[in-house]
Amino acid sequence: MISKRIVTLGTSHGDSTRSRFNSSTLLQVGEHHFLIDSGAPVNALMTMGGYSMKALRAVFITHTHDDHIGGVPGLIKSLTKHHVTAPPVRFFFPEAEVAPALQSWLAVQHRDWETGDVAFDLTHDGCIFADDDIRVSGVPTDHLLGAGKSFGYKFDFADGMRIVFTGDLRHDCSDFPQIVREEPCDICVTEATHINIDTISSILPSCPIKRLIFTHIGNCWHNDGEAKLLEYCRDLPFPVEIAHDGDVFEC
Ligand SMILES: [Zn+2]
Ligand SMILES: [Zn+2]
């Protein structure tokens, strides 16, 4: 069985705090690294944690709010400056407008794009990436209320394990992915900004989840609020954990 670890690099929502940066999560699969979201300062957090850019294979962006995509220019700068990876790191964006906008932004910084260090892809519903160990699928959500596209990401491993990252959801969490509600999921990493006590009691109890990790933590659940969130989750039929910046979850 290949080793897998989830490292929650940044665990805040739109505002950073003294101890929580914007959302970015690293998934280590054997020798390879994958990122789910890249809020700022993801490249600095990877360096601080000792997570090699060389091992990065793909970056999966859930939606284009700044707290999820704001670190991408810095990440691309790090990758293109040092030409650290081969093959190119593939970036999966939910909307076609992102790639040309990024290219313009990096052009004014005089960064060379034609290096072959990075490649851009568009996320869609269904399988978007596969290698010997994993199959990654886009899972549509409706966080942007129809004004733009948003996705969760489902990782199916060759050994049978499944991990789903929901990304941000609607305020009533009515777009909590159907696949997590209906099919077994070893680990579900979801957000705790839009979630509330009604969502917890109405949607989560019947989900066949084995382990739930909250990240993208809303202000009311910071510090002393953590105990309150765990108390609301006390009767759920699976263990619940609250992520902090730099936490490592063995899978
Ligand atoms: Zn967010
Ligand atoms: Zn958002």
What confidence tens digit (pLDDT) does each residue in 86-130 have?
A: 789 999 999 999 999 998 998 898 887 666 889 999 999 999 999
- In DSSP terms, 5 is beta-bridged to 28, 250
Domains contained in the chain, number? 1
How buried is 173 (Cβ within 10 angstroms: 0-12 exposed, 13-18 middle, 19+ buried)?
Answer: buried
Q: pTM above 0.75? A: yes
d(CA 2, CA 155): 14
Does position 199 have pLDDT exceeding 70, yes or no?
yes
Query: What's the 23 CA to ligand 2 centre distance in angstroms?
Result: 10
Ligand minimally distant from the alpha carbon of residue 215: 1
Query: What's the 143 CA to ligand 2 centre distance in angstroms?
Result: 7
Ligand minimally distant from the alpha carbon of residue 23: 1
Give the residue numbers spanning the domain of 42: 4-250
d(CA 26, CA 46): 9
d(CA 141, CA 159): 27
Residue 83 pLDDT: 76
Amino acid, single-letter form, for residue 162: R
Does position 150 have pLDDT exceeding 90, yes or no?
yes
185 close to 28: Cβ distance less than 8 angstroms: no
Instruction: Kindly state the average pLDDT of the residues 166-174.
Output: 94
Residue 86 pLDDT: 77
Instruction: Kindly state the average pLDDT of the residues 58-73.
Output: 98
d(CA 17, CA 142): 26
Report the CATH number at residue 121: 3.60.15.10
Amino acid, single-letter form, for residue 203: I
Residue 113 pLDDT: 65
Name the nearest CA neighbour of 228 among 202, 195, 203, 206.
195
**73 band by pLDDT with thresholds 50, 70 and 90:** very high
